[in-house]
Structure 1
Amino acid sequence: MKEEKEFFQIKLNFKSLLDTYVEKLELETSNFKRLYLSSLIQFVEKNEALYTEVPIDKISHYESDIDTVLTDLFPTALTLNEIKAATVPFSDQIFNLTTRFKNIIREAGDDFKFDVMESFSQDKYRMACGAILKIFYGRFVNFSKPLQVSIRNASGALRTYRITYNADFVRISLNHEKYRLSETQIAQLLREHDNMELWKEYFPPQAYSFEGFGIISLTDVTIDNAISELKTIFLNGKSMGDTQNDKVESIFRTMFGIEDLRAGFTSFNHYDKSFETLMYGDVVSYLLGQSHEKNCENALCRGAYKNLINDFTPLVISDVEEYLNTVQNTFLAENLMNNGIKSATFYPVHENDRLLGILELVSGKEYELNNFNVSLLDAVAPYLKAVLLNSEREYENSINAIIQTECTSIHDSVKWKFENEARRILKSRSDGGSAQFEDLKFEDVYPLYGQIDIVGSSDTRNKMIKDDLLSQLEEVEDIFAFAKAQQPLPLYAQLEYRVHKYVKELRKKELDANTERKIIKFLAEEIHPVFNHFKQINQEIKQQIETYESFLDPNENVKHSRRIDYDKSVQIMNDAVAGVLDKRQVEAQRIYPHFFERFKTDGVEHNIYVGNSITTANDFNPVYLYNLRLWQLQVLVELENKFYELQKELPVKIEAASMILAFENTLTIRYRIDEKRFDVDGSYNARYEVVKKRIDKALIKGTNERITQRGKIAIVYASKDMEREYLRYIDFLKHNNLIEDKVEKLELEDVQGVAGLKALRVSVLYNFSDSQTTLTYNDLIKELQF
């Protein structure tokens, strides 16, 4: 074929496998295994073609010999389970198929052709070039693509298989030095990866030879693909139309291999324990038939009720006619019979102890759906649960609580306005209209923003990761030292040396992402495989390694002790601080109802909006605003105290800096339906949001010092009036021995184009509940032994 002539020289042999057997024989200590390997080696050496070249057009002549040589890679015990075959390198010509693979090909019929490589010959050429670049020039260029093949089974159902290619036994040779590429040529190839003429010029067919054999393995991913397709269908957020129903049914037909399978849904109303179709108005319910709603006890017999409602176990009816003759409550069976259904599965989808709905699969043939294939639904149940939860939320939003329709949790202070909007929508819909939830505006409100932020959280978290890696590497060093004492092999010393290099590198500099990746890859690919070998040959080393492994994350095989300690410290602190803030918020609402929200990140921040438009009382007075500003400052002092009071209980010591943004003017906030959150409204008001997001990183004018500092509260403002107001509050806090006497008055560098910002900064006095004395921040740090 022309395409083959234009490809590199291919030679099929098993020399690389022979070399592997020889290497294994040299290291093997078991007499039985040595005898086995020796026999294999002698067998190959007696059959010259096996280690020189097997003519590709005469593979069948060597079938028995190849089967013997590949026995180690194709165990007979697995031939009915694995879907595997040997292959000529970069070719669709496969041989030595496992029994299961042969059965799959046979069931596909005479018309089926396994031509995965042929379907993308250009990609095959570049994959070969990529292998050459890696082997000869140390450049990793990945041209490979995920390979899948769809094959029909005996019943005509389409099964999808993922193909993986093992090229461990393929060797590449450069046929002449004149074809060796220069660095300039390689750079040009990498720049022009789509220029096939250039690639074929630099990689002519006669330049390189491939010899050996490959191994392909197939994995049935039909169910995985089905789940992925279901996800695609439902993530669009729309109601399922007829076309999508067809898609869903097609997916389930593929999964079950049942050509006439149909799918339906019935939702469950847990308030009155009834089945209904309201949530899925355009989806068939085979359980309800022509009914739109039915009490569960009236729809099901006692046994079916127990299965679906009480035990959350599937109801499988393999023979509907027989089922009809055995139950007293015939509502379900008659609905099925009237629809020509002969077998059915009703699969309950639940969230904890709450039934969400019933997935229905039905067929016009007896026993097609049965107690054996019902387990296929277990693989998709988690996603089905997510689908039902989402649909349930949509239902509750649109019918039961339009307040929550397009919104997340609504604060009590503004709930009244959402209720009014919900009433408007309900009235419109009852009149046949199609009103939509609109953005809600709250005008002329005063904003109060504050935060207590963990200082240097990113740097600290990075240090914890570094400490974990250092600790893990040092433990690896100890294990190799012990191993060398037991068996002083050069490889152990070489690996120990590389480990020590990484230890020295980490001690000298900060950890970066590239170094972290390199170390984790080194541990996973080079250290841990050796440890697995250690555990097989020495009991003492095994115990030491198992102790080492007990401290590793089971998913990543990396130590996370210090990082977990830090994250735990942050979580404990955030929860404690947020708890105090929530408790004080209840008191603050008594001052005057206001909107409040808080967020936990690396610290806790909060927003307050107060004004006439927030409440229905319409009696707002500035005195309430002044009270809330003073309350906010007092609470931040309390939060600072709580923050440091808990330090001794934390696995990792952390520090905090607090800040208030004092904004003098009113602004308008809007609840944005599409984003499900409150935000400031209008370009002028947006200045407040910009400052709020950047202010904690603002610098004092003429310095590199941030306005937020450990042990201090910064109050950022713009006008002289705000300065005078907060100085009064500060004086009151000094009088109550909550802050130090010194007050810093500072000017700030511009923040995102906003100029003229100033700040007052005060130092907190710490007075813990178990102490009669107050401490400055510096005294506190000494006391806590940071």
Structure 2
Amino acid sequence: KMCSMILNDCYGQNLDVDPVVIFSMGSKTCGLSRHYKSEMTIQFVEVVPTKPLKKLTQEQIDKLLCNIYDMDAWMKALPPDAFEIHGIVGVNLVDVTKEETLSRLRQHLLKKDALTSRENIEYIQSLLRDYFQLPDLRFGIMAMDYPVNKDRNDNRYGIQHCLIDRWQDCRLADENHQSIYAKAARFGHNVLLENMEWVKAPTQAEKTLMKKGFKSYLVAPLKGKEDRIIGLMEIGAERPFAINSFTELQLHDLMALFHTALERSREETDNRIEAIMRDQFTAIHPSVQWRFIDAAFDIMSQQQKGIINPATPDIAFESVYPMYAQADIVNSSITRNHAIQQDFIKNLQLLEEVLSVANEKLDYPLLEQYLLETRQKLTELEQNLDTSDEHQLMDYILLEVHPVLEEVVRQNAILMEAYRNYTG
């Protein structure tokens, strides 16, 4: 700021520099933090040179402005002992607690494990306490499907941070169909209890919450695609009316962040489980798919614990008599993968030949790049072929190389014979 003042007052520049500085102040009594943005007033300040001004050309000034963090260059161009600052600087601190907390929350929820680890949940809880200025606020979030999907195990998402311990599997049970959890899921909107002692017919859920010391509570449904319920979010406090209608209004600005974070986390888990199923099992009939999903979840859990070669759980259906039969060829997946691998190897070898001929006869940078990439992919393919490699290789050949190769051949007839040998 002071350097810009010197350039403006002494070197005829017209710089408008107003850096944003955020001050965070924590309270030792309640543990909450507040954030303030400084607004500096310098209209009563003047720069007084104490020595003859050092001559600076516009080019030198422009170089300084292009390297604002090069302190040595700035100190050399504008020596501190050559200037004095006279006057009064006014600083006004503006409370930006909500804006700063919202920014930190948005940044945190972009992380992959933002909703899975207990440490991250506690960090989100601390941010929400600052946002609502409630030191006793508690935060919980859980992944779930409503209507209940019997083929989907909600626990597999690793997002079961419920404020009632061991309540994940019974919050929507028949005996709790009038609880705040069931109402939030069934009606798809927030359920607010400003004073839990006013509940006339509390279910076991409300009774348990009151035993844990909660006096005000709010449960909000989290929705995904097609407006389906994919989870519940809850906040509670130990004082009546601490969570109230104004809290609900403020929460509205945050809900989109939690919707997106939960949906992204669920999709990442679903993709991992699907990849495990493709790798470990053959084609699965939809009627028994749920059992294989549970097995894939067990494998994923072992991988998350650091087990390099997790054991595949035994899958059996006792006392089940199928009304139809389905044959499964032994080692069919291995045979299929080997056949696909050999087919890709042959294709890449032919592609390497035509690219090599084209690269020798033409000066075309992309041809050399594709030739090197094809050789690298061929080397990797000869060692192993993963399920995900099929789509990548197809996209590389059909969408990247072929369009360029066809255009080059069209413009250079000398490559036609080599291209025909490749296409067969």
Would you say same fold, with TM above 0.5? yes
- 2:318 is aligned with 1:444: no
Distance in 2, Cα, partners of 1:371 & 1:678: 51
Q: Which residue of 1 aligns with 2:267?
A: 393
Say if 2:26 and 2:33, in contact at 8 Å, map to a contact too: yes
Cα distance in 1 between the residues matched to 2:186 and 2:403: 50
Deviations 1:625-683 (A, max 9, x none): xxxxxxxxxxxxxxxxxxxxxxxxxxxxxxxxxxxx9xxxx97695575xx983239xx
Tell me what 1:350 maps to. 223
Change in CA separation of 1:692 and 1:165 when aligned onto 2, cut-off 3 Å? farther
Which of the numbers 274, 280, 283 marks the counterpart of 1:403? 274
2:36 to 146, 155, 161: 161
Match of residue 256 from structure 2: 382
1:284 aligns with 2:161: yes
Superposed, 1:330-369 pairs within 5 Å as 330-351=203-224, 352-369=226-243
**Aligned-residue offset at 1:272:** 2.4
Separation in 2 of the partners of 1:192 and 1:309?
Answer: 54
Partner amino acid for 1:679?
Answer: Q
* Structure 2 counterparts to residues 8-407 of structure 1, below 5 A: 127-134=1-8, 136-137=10-11, 145-151=19-25, 157-165=32-40, 167=42, 169=43, 172-173=46-47, 175=49, 178-183=52-57, 186=61, 194-196=70-72, 199=75, 202-205=78-81, 207=83, 209=85, 216=92, 218-229=94-105, 231-232=107-108, 235-237=111-113, 240-272=116-148, 278-279=155-156, 281=158, 283-286=160-163, 289-290=166-167, 292-295=169-172, 297-301=174-178, 305-306=182-183, 308-323=184-199, 326-327=200-201, 330-351=203-224, 352-397=226-271, 402-403=273-274
* Equivalent pair of 2:192/2:244 in contact (CA under 8 Å): yes
TM-score of the two chains, using structure 1 as the length reference:
0.37
Where 1:182 maps in the other structure, the secondary structure is: coil
- Please report how far the alpha carbon of residue 204 of structure 1 lies from its aligned counterpart in structure 2 after TM superposition: 3.9
Query: Residue 5 of structure 1 corresponds to which residue in structure 2?
Result: none
Q: Provide the C-alpha distance between the structure 1 equivalents of 2:2 and 2:88, rounded to a whole number of angstroms.
A: 14
**Structure 1 residues 417 and 149: alpha-carbon distance in aligned structure 2, compared to 1, 3 A threshold:** same
Paired AA for residue 207 in structure 2: E
* Separation in structure 2 between the aligned mates of residue 250 and residue 374 of structure 1, nearest angstrom: 18
- How far is 1:719 from its partner? 1.9
Distance in 2, matches of 1:160 and 1:300, equals: 42
Gaps in structure 2 of 5+ consecutive residues: 304-308, 313-336, 348-369, 371-376
Listed as ranges, the matches of 1:451-490 within 5 Å are none
Partners of 2:341 and 2:56 in 1: CA distance = 70
Contact 1:267 1:279 (8 Å CA) reproduced:
no
CA contact (8 A) 2:143 2:230 kept: yes
1:678 aligned partner: 391
Change in Cα spacing, 1:240 to 1:193, as seen in structure 2 (3 Å) is closer
Native 8 Å contact 1:318 1:344 kept in 2: yes
Equivalent pairs counted in the alignment come to 352
Alignment partners' CA distance in 2, 1:720 and 1:372: 71
Offset of residue 383 of structure 1: 0.8
Distance in 2 between residues matched to 1:185 and 1:429, nearest whole Å: 62
Counterpart Cα distance in 2 of 1:693 and 1:247 = 50
Task: State the alpha-carbon separation in 2 of the partners of residues 389 and 197 from structure 1.
Answer: 49
Separation (CA, whole Å) in 2 of partners of 1:199 and 1:273 = 67
Give 1:293 shift: 3.7
Q: CA deviation at 1:302?
A: 7.4
Alignment correspondent of 1:466: none
Check whether the contact 1:181–1:202 (CA below 8 A) recurs between aligned residues.
Answer: no
Q: 1:424 to 1:238 in 2, by over 3 A?
A: farther
Q: Which of 719, 725, 745 is 2:418 aligned to?
A: 719
Tell me, yes or no, if the aligned pair for 2:146 and 2:186 is still in contact at 8 Å.
no
Q: Relative to structure 1, is the Cα distance of residues 188 and 369 closer, same or farther in structure 2, using a 3 angstrom cutoff?
A: closer
Give, in angstroms, the shift of residue 200 of structure 1: 6.7
Distance 1:185 1:194 in 2: 13
Please list, as runs of the form range in 1=range in 2, the aligned pairs for 1:276-675 lying within 5 A after superposition: 278-279=155-156, 281=158, 283-286=160-163, 289-290=166-167, 292-295=169-172, 297-301=174-178, 305-306=182-183, 308-323=184-199, 326-327=200-201, 330-351=203-224, 352-397=226-271, 402-403=273-274, 434=303, 442-445=340-343
2:363 equivalent in structure 1: none
> Is the Cα contact below 8 Å between 1:288 and 1:294 reproduced in 2?
no
Mapped to 1, the partners of 2:45 and 2:402 lie a distance apart of 62
Q: State how far apart, in whole Å, the 1-side matches of 2:154 and 2:209 are.
A: 16
Q: Structure 1 152/205 Cα, relative in aligned 2: closer, same or farther at 3 Å?
A: same
CA spacing shift, 1:279–1:381, aligned 2, 3 Å = farther
Could you say what secondary structure the match of 1:295 adopts? coil
Structure 1 residue identity aligned to 2:218: T
Partner SS, residue 243 of structure 2: coil
TM-score, length of structure 2 as denominator length: 0.62
Q: Distance in 2 between matches of 1:429 and 1:289?
A: 20
Query: How far apart are 1:135 and its partner, in Å?
Result: 5.1
Provide closer, same or farther for how the CA distance between residues 160 and 690 of structure 1 changes in structure 2, counting only shifts above 3 A: same
Post-superposition offset of 1:424: 8.5
Preserved CA contact (<8 Å) 2:142 2:232: yes
Q: Deviation at 1:425? A: 8.6
Relative to 1, partners in 2 of residues 1:707 and 1:294: Cα closer, same or farther, differing over 3 Å? farther
1-structure distance, mates of 2:62, 2:94: 36
Cα distance, 1:347 vs. partner? 1.4
Summarize the Cα distance change of 1:288–1:237 in structure 2 as closer, same or farther, 3 Å threshold. Answer: closer
Query: Which runs of 5 or more structure 1 residues have no equivalent in the other structure?
Result: 1-126, 408-413, 448-608, 610-660, 701-705, 709-713, 726-786
The whole-number CA distance in structure 2 between the counterparts of 1:189 and 1:217 is 30
Percent identity reads 15
Amino acid at match of 1:391: S
Distance across 2 between alignment mates of 1:724 and 1:239: 50
SS of 1:366's partner is coil
Tell me: CA distance 1:393–1:418, structure 2 relative to 1, closer, same or farther (3 Å): farther
SS in 1 for 2:136: coil
Contact 1:319 1:367 (C-alpha < 8 Å) held by counterparts: yes
Question: How far did 1:254 drift?
Answer: 1.4
Query: Larger Rg: 1 or 2?
Result: 1
User: Whole-Å Cα distance in 2 between the matches of residues 140 and 418 of structure 1?
Assistant: 70
Report the Cα distance in structure 1 between the residues aligned to 2:179 and 2:294, rounded to whole angstroms: 38
Residues 171-199 of structure 1: CA deviation (Å, up to 9, x unaligned): 65564782143328758867795445971
Q: Post-superposition shift, 1:235?
A: 0.8
2:8 and 2:387 map into 1 onto residues whose CA distance is: 53
Cα distance per residue 1:421-475 (max 9 Å; x no partner)? x9999657669965579xx78313369xxxxxxxxxxxxxxxxxxxxxxxxxxxx
Using the alignment, how far apart are the partners of 1:192 and 1:204 within structure 2? Answer: 16
> How has the CA–CA distance of structure 1 residues 147 and 138 changed in structure 2, closer, same or farther, with 3 Å as cutoff?
same
Deviations 1:270-306 (A, max 9, x none): 3427998615546431367545244355424178745
